[in-house]
Chain A
Amino acid sequence: MGYYKNRTLTFDNSYIIEGYTVAGPKENDGRYKGFFDLALNDDMFGQNTFERAERKMFEHAIDGVIGKANLENGDVDAVLGGDLLNQNVSMSFSARNQHAGFLGLYNACATYAESLIVGSCLVSNGYENVVCVAGSHFSTAERQYRYPLELGVLRSPVTQWTATGVGATVLSNQSAVSVPKITRATIGRVVDYGIMDVNNMGAAMAPSACDTLVTFFRDTNACPEDYDVIYTGDLGKLGSDILLDLARQEGCDISSKQHDCGASLYWDEQQTYQGGSGAACSALVFNSVLLGRLRRGEYKKILLLGTGALMSPTTSFQGDSIPAITHLVEVCI
């Protein structure tokens, strides 16, 4: 693991005003049933294509979070975020209805954490309210990255299941009441340990998660004991195990603190093997579960690590390995 340079930012006034989640049917049958603001009965969401359904989920999440925060469309200065589809279409298309400025972001499944970091920079520089959003849809991702839905194939035991859902957050530069705040963040670097197997994204991303985590601890002199929980995005069960091994090797034992949004999203009987993956994982779990626990004071200080595998089907077919990225945000109440 490398420790190269201080990459940790500090924020004084990045307040998390509100969060809103739209979850697919399988996700709402999972471990966090009932935590979501809107749970779909049908992952087509009344549309005639899955792509349109994903877009509608984004629109709902953005409008939902703005309404829930008692803001008007015109109060938002910027919307930023992304999805997994080529050209970031779900995000960009759903921003058509907004008056706010728009930044499309892509860091695969680390997009949500990326949007929180960029959003915190914006509110620290005079923007009043920004909406950070990320999501994914199983059926659109499956088509783009893997096989047709109805093709009968044996899945490898290291595979994960792309989560269907969108999570959106309003960040503000002020808050009248005490709300959770983003206090520090580390921008990750791209790390590639040569994993070629696109099924095994947890293994591809774990070294990057360790790299960012260790960088944050060295930058800030913080230690795992300072935090109630450390949530990784979508390393899955295997990826989490690998992260624990790698972090221990760097002298930092996070085994009693680490949880994974993806691995915890589904029950074992839902047959997702290593758990959930996709940009939706961290956005869903953070906005529905973690934000609530922070507000109720169950957690005082947490870390969220968005983990992303940056390959495309083309690079995989051409025999390239999978680069990965992890961004870290520290949230305190």
Chain B
Amino acid sequence: MEKTYEITKDNYKSYVFEKMPKSSHWKNMIWAFIVGGVICTIGQAFIELYKLWFSVEDASVLASGTMVLIAAIFTGLGIYDNIGRFAGAGSTIPITGFSNAVVSPALEFRSEGYIYGVGAKMFLVAGPVIVNGVTISVIIALLTLLFGG
């Protein structure tokens, strides 16, 4: 595409935005839907399996734990990041993404020891999710308490 205007420091950002390749939102959304769907279906299959022996509540907790464990192993084997590279939110949003977000920095910073490495850096990625999640839930709980629910 031939540009027709003069590029200046002021319009540089908009020039770059016009020029740069864009993420394909449709492609990303379809992959996220498929991979996210598959992960959730596997989770549901574990719930159905555990229901054969446990109550529904226990089966759900066990299924979540199983999915976290599988994702942790997949992260350790170097597979999860390859899935995430095309699945995007599809592999980030389910509980498996949380597992990946905790295990990957733990692996990465293992070289700095268990205290300053694994211990200090484990929640590098997941930390903000936990902090914001807890903060928002406290605010919602307070609002519910004050205005009834």
A binds B: yes
Stretch at the interface among A93-101, A168-176, A240-248: A240-248
Stretch at the interface among A112-120, A155-163, A253-261: A155-163
Given A48-B111, A148-B105, A246-B7, does the pair A154, B20 have CB atoms closer than 8 Å?
no
Q: How far is the CA of A147 from the CA of B121 in the complex (A)?
A: 12
Q: Does A280 contact B (CB under 8 A)?
A: no
Q: Does A31 contact B (CB under 8 A)?
A: no
Q: Does B101 contact A (CB under 8 A)?
A: yes
Q: Is the CB of B20 within 8 A of A200?
A: yes
Q: Does A153 contact B (CB under 8 A)?
A: yes
Q: Could you tell me which residues of chain A, from 138 to 165, have a CB within 8 Å of some CB in chain B? A: 143, 147-158
Q: Is the CB of A150 within 8 A of B20?
A: no
Q: Annotate A5-26 by CB proximity to B: 1 below 8 A, 0 otherwise.
A: 0000000000000000000000
Q: Could you tell me which residues of chain B, from 68 to 107, have a CB within 8 Å of some CB in chain A? A: 75-76, 78, 80-89, 91-92, 97, 100-101, 103-105, 107
Q: How far is the CA of A155 from the CA of B107 in the complex (A)?
A: 21
Our pick among A148, A152, A241 for the contact of B19 (Cβ within 8 Å) is A241
Q: Could you tell me which residues of chain B, from 28 to 59, have a CB within 8 Å of some CB in chain A? A: 28
Q: Does A203 contact B (CB under 8 A)?
A: yes
Given A147-B125, A148-B125, A194-B13, does the pair A154, B86 have CB atoms closer than 8 Å?
yes
Task: Give the chain B neighbours of A242 by CB distance below 8 A.
Answer: 15-16, 19
Given A151-B100, A152-B87, does the pair A238, B108 have CB atoms closer than 8 Å?
no
Q: Is the CB of A149 within 8 A of B21?
A: no
Our pick among B15, B87, B91, B124 for the contact of A148 (Cβ within 8 Å) is B124
Q: Is the CB of B105 within 8 A of A152?
A: no
Q: Is the CB of A158 within 8 A of B81?
A: no
Q: How far is the CA of A86 from the CA of B19 in the complex (A)?
A: 33
Q: Is the CB of B104 within 8 A of A150?
A: yes
Q: How far is the CA of A148 from the CA of B102 in the complex (A)?
A: 10
Task: Give the chain A neighbours of B16 by CB distance below 8 A.
Answer: 195, 200, 203, 242
Task: Give the chain B neighbours of A155 by CB distance below 8 A.
Answer: 85
Task: Give the chain A neighbours of B13 by CB distance below 8 A.
Answer: 193-195
Closest to B20 in A: A158
Q: Does B132 contact A (CB under 8 A)?
A: no
Q: Is the CB of B108 within 8 A of A143?
A: yes
Closest to B110 in A: A49
Q: Does B144 contact A (CB under 8 A)?
A: no
Q: Annotate B4-23 by CB proximity to A: 1 below 8 A, 0 otherwise.
A: 00110100110110011111
What residues make up the interface of A, taking CB atoms closer than 8 Å to B? 48-51, 143, 147-158, 193-195, 200, 203, 207, 238, 241-242, 245-246, 249
Contacts A148-B107, A150-B80, A150-B108 known; 8 new A-B pairs at CB < 8 A: A148-B104, A148-B105, A148-B125, A152-B82, A157-B20, A157-B23, A242-B16, A242-B19
What residues make up the interface of B, taking CB atoms closer than 8 Å to A? 3, 6-7, 9, 12-13, 15-16, 19-23, 28, 75-76, 78, 80-89, 91-92, 97, 100-101, 103-105, 107-109, 111, 124-125
* A–B Cβ pairs within 8 angstroms, 21 of them: A49-B111, A143-B108, A149-B81, A149-B107, A150-B103, A152-B82, A152-B84, A152-B87, A152-B100, A152-B104, A153-B84, A157-B23, A195-B12, A195-B13, A203-B16, A203-B19, A203-B20, A207-B12, A245-B3, A245-B7, A249-B7
Counting from the closest, the 6 A-B pairs by CB-CB distance are A152-B84, A154-B88, A150-B104, A148-B108, A148-B104, A49-B111
